[in-house]
Amino acid sequence: MKKDEGEVKAALCGGSDRRGKGGREENWLPAFLAEFPEMATASPDALAQNAGDAWLAAHPPQAVAYPESAESVARLARWASAAAVPITARGAGRGYVGGCVPIQGGIVVNFSRMNRIREIDPQDGVAIVEPGVITAHLQEAAAKLGWFYPPDPASAAESSLGGNIATNAGGPRCLKYGVTRHYVLGLEVVLADGTRVRVGGRTHKNKVGFDLVGLFVGSEGLLGLVTEATLRLIPHPPYRVAVAAVFPTVEAAAGTVERIFGAGLLPSALEIADRLTLERAREFCEEPIPPGDAHLFIECDGQPAGVDAEIDRLLPILRRAGAGEVRIGRGEEGCERLWRIRRSFSLALKQSGLTKLNEDVVVPRRRLVDLLRLGREIERRFGFPVACFGHAGDGNIHVNLMIDRSLPGAEARAEEALDLLFAQVIGWGGSITGEHGIGLAKDRWWPLAASPEVRKLHERLKAALDPAGLLNPGKFV
């Protein structure tokens, strides 16, 4: 749900309405529109469309630019730097933390027109893309050539690679294959003053100087504007098998995760869902979901003989752990049939009519059962439903607080519940975000998640690359 236009409410986000110079001083706008007529607009529709993402908050910019080349981005940044106007980069707007909300107004740089796959080179094992390319489009193009881009956020069909890079996106397959950072070999970045720099390259190994690629990946648009990425591809696994098992309790399902690893198995995906998630999915998903209070979804991929051997070892583990009905999908079609259930979870919860606060926390795997129990404790203590599902294999669980915001005091109780959730996760040695980022939504808990020394280091890096604080201002740094 969006806030009233022009306002970002403090409740359920990291701070107050932090409108800065971009929101107060609009005398630059006519000059900007005149300087960039080929890509700039201040139409009400464009401003509204670029005001928010998939989270709760929205704040309109004064202008939106739709560049089509790196040089146009650099020219725009030089102009904005000279005029002291804030810039907020925007990909497909599918983030869950308000990361691309232009909280201080100014200019949104929308990369949707920079959506070209420039090159796919199987010999070098690389793809060169612009930031507006939709993740699934690259995956499909690579697969036609027998190659594989593994990072697979749930929003792959909608999210852009530039946004994935900004948040270091993960997804179910990162258990075996790693997150976005592991596939970024090189970047072209426009800095706050308009300087174009290339970091990394197209080789799969490169140790020249600092890891500047890693510095920009996950930086949430605070350090530079990515205009091109060189991504690592790997050969496409020729065969995959998915297994969906239903358990009587979520503790039984979660406890099975360590048994799977203890048997020497490394699935490409290992997902879990609790009772509330399954109840909503049964109402929403066309695929039948067997009775049971927890669901474990496992996929293995690779060479056919090896995958079949892994499945033969996996099935007895599931049965000994108390699994009820076990369904198997073989090959692309069989796997996708089961994946449709997993992909329905988030949409099914949204259909409830409640506000879904999706918190992508991460805990050490041995704390997985404790985290799921904590979700039930929050439900009992604060009186609203809590649905947990996600990436059990790496401890990255989406704890969804389902809030009826029409009830008095609902937002205050939600913030209190999040205080408890994040404090406990950090106490267990976990993280308040695994793939969504800090953005606005988790700004309140940034000091809890990062020590004073680490926060100071972030500030020093920000000051070095963006001394005027014009890139995505008003966020956690």
Torsion, Cα 22 27 28 34, to 10 degrees, reads 140
pLDDT computed for residue 26 by the predictor: 64
Q: Which distant-in-sequence residues (6+ apart) come within 8 Å of 429 by Cβ? A: 363, 364, 367
Beta strands in 308-385 (DSSP E): 326-330, 355-362
Give the pLDDT score at 290. 83
Instruction: Report how far apart the first and last C-alpha atoms of the chain are (Å, whole number).
Output: 25
Distance of CA 401 to the CA centre of its chain: 18
pLDDT at residue number 291: 86
| Cα 28 from Cα 21, distance rounded (Å) | 11
What DSSP state is assigned to residue 91? S
Amino acid at 419: D
In terms of DSSP bridges, do strands 269-273 and 386-391 run parallel, antiparallel, or are they unpaired?
A: antiparallel
| Residue of 356, 349, 444, 354 lying closest to 407 (CA atoms) | 354
311 phi, psi to nearest 5 deg: -65, -40
Closest CA to 52 of 19, 88, 12, 87: 88
- How do the pLDDT tens digits run along the chain, 477 residues long? 333 334 444 445 444 344 344 444 569 999 999 999 999 999 999 999 999 999 989 999 999 999 999 999 999 999 999 999 999 999 999 999 999 999 999 999 999 999 999 999 999 999 999 999 999 999 999 999 999 999 999 889 999 999 999 999 999 999 999 999 999 999 999 999 999 999 999 999 999 999 999 999 999 999 999 999 999 999 999 999 999 999 999 999 999 999 999 999 999 999 999 999 999 999 888 888 888 899 999 999 999 999 999 999 999 999 999 999 999 999 999 999 999 999 899 989 999 899 999 999 999 999 999 999 999 999 999 999 999 999 999 999 999 999 999 999 999 999 999 999 999 999 999 999 999 999 999 999 999 999 999 999 999 999 999 999 999 999 999
Torsions phi, psi for 201 (to 5 deg): 180, -150
- Backbone CA torsion sign across 177, 110, 438, 379: negative
Which residues have C-beta within 8 Å of that of residue 228, sequence separation ≥ 6? Answer: 70, 118, 128, 129, 130, 131, 187, 188
Q: What is the DSSP letter of 155?
A: T
Res 21: pLDDT: 44
Count of CB atoms situated within 10 Å of the CB of 381: 12
If residue 77 lies in a helix (H) or strand (E), which one and from where to where?
Answer: helix 70-83
Q: State the Cα angle at 289 between 283 and 294, rounded to 5°.
A: 100
- Vertex 374 angle, CA 372 and 375, to 5°: 65
**Residue 154, pLDDT score:** 87
Enumerate domains of the chain plus CATH numbers. 21-110 (3.30.43.10), 117-235 (3.30.465.10), 237-351 (3.30.70.2190), 353-463 (3.30.70.2740)
Q: 113: closest CA among 64, 154, 179, 75?
A: 64
pLDDT at residue number 406: 92
- State the helix-helix crossing angle for 250-262 and 304-320, rounded to 10 degrees: 130
